[in-house]
Amino acid sequence: MAEVTYREALRRALDEELDRDERVFLMGEEIGRFEGSYKVTAGLWAKYGPKRVRETPISEEGFVGAGIGAAMLGLRPVVEIMTINFIMVAQDMVVNHAAKIRYMFGGKVGVPMVIRTPGGAGAQLTAQHSQSLEVWFAHVPGLKVVAPSSPRDAYGLRFKLSRKLPACPGSHEQLLAHCRALLAVHETGGGSVCRAHPQVFALVASGELHASALSLLKKHLTSLPRRSWH
């Protein structure tokens, strides 16, 4: 067991997928020599080279479209958009192409790709860099949208989604460096149920919801057994 940050869990998942399947490659702005804005891809360009970790121009619509084409032809792209706010530039590619192609081709052609992007407020960034737009894509048939709230869930959920349908994982920017958890070397799986109750189901999806969800439960669900909330 080792304590890892959220970003380290993501990096481990990417590293393992690149090593497991030669069809997997990464693409995005400044993810190679600069190692990404949040250092999630640190070391991967040096390890796998520019063919597997591809740096792109500042053209979200263009490189998301390139990822869709690569996925249709049998590759497994993991496309990084620097922040979810910039995904609006590629909205047509995500909603009308990545999500729809499998249905338009009668299931004969799929788009097994991942679009990975952070978002959220609270990091003293500008208004255009502080939005949480995951819910938009949750309403789009043909996409899988996940926003894990812990390193364990991020590692377990994200990249196995790329094997069938387009997936749009989102992560809160403040979780990347400050959220830590113990992670076994080969731990895999899905999200965890932190606390069960027959009348309550709360899905804590991202960093902003941690405090608000727990506060709401503490205030209104007094019938729950008194235990630690940590």
Delimit the domains of the chain by residue range. Answer: 2-183
pLDDT (tens digit per residue) in 21-49: 899 999 999 999 999 888 899 999 999 99
DSSP E strands: which ranges in the chain? 2-5, 24-28, 53-55, 76-80, 114-119, 144-146, 167-172, 180-183
Entry pTM: 0.74
pLDDT score recorded for residue 30: 93
In the chain (230 residues long), the average pLDDT of successive 10-residue segments reads 81 90 93 89 95 95 95 92 89 92 90 85 70 84 81 72 55 50 43 48 44 54 48
Of 8, 17, 29, 60, catalytic: 60
Query: Does the annotation mark 129 as catalytic?
Result: yes
Q: Is the dihedral of CA 35, 160, 171, 192 positive or negative?
A: negative
pLDDT score recorded for residue 56: 95
Of 29, 97, 129, 134, catalytic: 129
Query: Does the annotation mark 60 as catalytic?
Result: yes
Task: Fold for 2-183, please state it.
Answer: Rossmann fold (3.40.50)
pLDDT score recorded for residue 157: 67
Let me know: does 180 contact 5? Beta carbons within 8 Å.
yes
183, exposed or middle or buried, with CB in 10 Å at 0-12, 13-18, 19+?
A: buried
